[in-house]
């Protein structure tokens, strides 16, 4: 039998196998990990980060604090309405607000993708809170009322480290695990989100730097989680299905 005839017979079968794999329920594609006992986290326990060796924020009367304040006030002087609108658009900690336009997934995968990122975000939020509670640094507008005037909604949580900077960095790293060829675009978006927190007056530059640093540490720990790695493989499979003709 000639090669062309063989391919004509085999190719439709391969397509049907691929379609079947994309339509399988999650439970059939990967057996979920069986926990020995109920746990309060999805991939990483937040208490692991409560005592994390981490550089503290500048002291209240230090040169570092003065430099932080000067940077916030400089942006307050020159920021535009468009700057504030972009910062407001990224203020919600969700997959859509961070990555909607750059998402490598199609509409058919949306629900499962958001569920996966929701699991990552749930653990990350608790871990960031554990670190914030160690220092309880006041926000710029709390430390300098009347002097610092944010142009987006005010947050009630402590300032250091920036949760948005941490979330943006982790989400960028997670998406890079799934779609490494788009890593540059994901990191650029994370940088814009982090910077917007200083521009809008709700964080200091050292808050943002600490958030990025924490995001790197957190992602390195995520890569040690078997459940997380299983989730990444599932996301890769969904992406491949979504891009198939």
Tokens for 238? 């969904």
- Of the CA atoms within 13 Å of residue 26, those in its CB half-sphere come to 15
Other beta carbons less than 10 A from residue 92's beta carbon = 10
Contact 147, 210 (CB under 8 A): no
Structural domains in the chain, sorted by start: 61-243 (1.20.144.10)
Question: What is the spatial distance between Cα 14 and Cα 12, in angstroms, rounded to a whole number?
Answer: 5
Question: What is the spatial distance between Cα 169 and Cα 98, in angstroms, rounded to a whole number?
Answer: 10
Question: What is the spatial distance between Cα 110 and Cα 69, in angstroms, rounded to a whole number?
Answer: 41
Q: Name the band, by pLDDT with cuts 50, 70 and 90, for residue 243.
A: low
pLDDT at 5 exceeding the cut of 50: no
Question: What is the spatial distance between Cα 145 and Cα 88, in angstroms, rounded to a whole number?
Answer: 21
Q: Which helix (H) or strand (E) holds 7?
A: helix 3-23
Q: What percent of the chain has pLDDT over 70?
A: 81
- For the ranges 33-42, 46-55, 95-104, 170-179, the lowest mean pLDDT is seen at 33-42
In terms of Cβ atoms closer than 10 Å to its own Cβ (0-12, 13-18, 19+), residue 170 is buried
Q: Name the band, by pLDDT with cuts 50, 70 and 90, for residue 26.
A: low
Q: Rounded to two decimals, what is the model's pTM?
A: 0.84
């Amino acid at each position: 039998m000639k090669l062309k005839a063989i391919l004509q017979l085999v190719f439709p079968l391969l397509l049907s196998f691929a379609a079947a794999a994309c339509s399988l329920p999650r439970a059939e594609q990967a057996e979920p990990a069986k926990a020995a006992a109920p746990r309060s986290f999805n991939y990483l326990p937040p208490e692991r980060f409560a005592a994390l060796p981490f550089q503290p924020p500048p002291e209240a009367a230090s040169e570092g604090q003065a430099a932080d304040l000067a940077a916030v006030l400089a942006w307050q002087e020159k920021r535009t309405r468009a700057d504030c609108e972009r910062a407001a658009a990224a203020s919600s900690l969700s997959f859509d607000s961070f990555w909607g336009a750059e998402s490598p997934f199609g509409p058919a995968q949306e629900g499962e993708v958001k569920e996966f990122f929701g699991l990552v975000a749930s653990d990350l939020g608790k871990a960031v809170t554990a670190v914030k509670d160690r220092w309880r640094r006041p926000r710029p507008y709390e430390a300098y009322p009347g002097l610092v005037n944010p142009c987006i909604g005010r947050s009630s949580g402590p300032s250091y480290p920036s949760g948005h900077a941490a979330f943006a960095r982790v989400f960028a790293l997670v998406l890079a695990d799934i779609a490494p060829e788009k890593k540059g675009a994901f990191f650029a978006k994370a940088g814009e989100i982090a910077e917007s927190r200083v521009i809008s007056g709700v964080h200091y530059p050292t808050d943002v730097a600490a958030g990025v640093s924490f995001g790197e540490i957190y992602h390195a720990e995520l890569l040690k989680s078997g459940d997380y790695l299983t989730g990444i493989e599932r996301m890769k499979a969904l992406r491949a299905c979504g891009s198939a003709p």
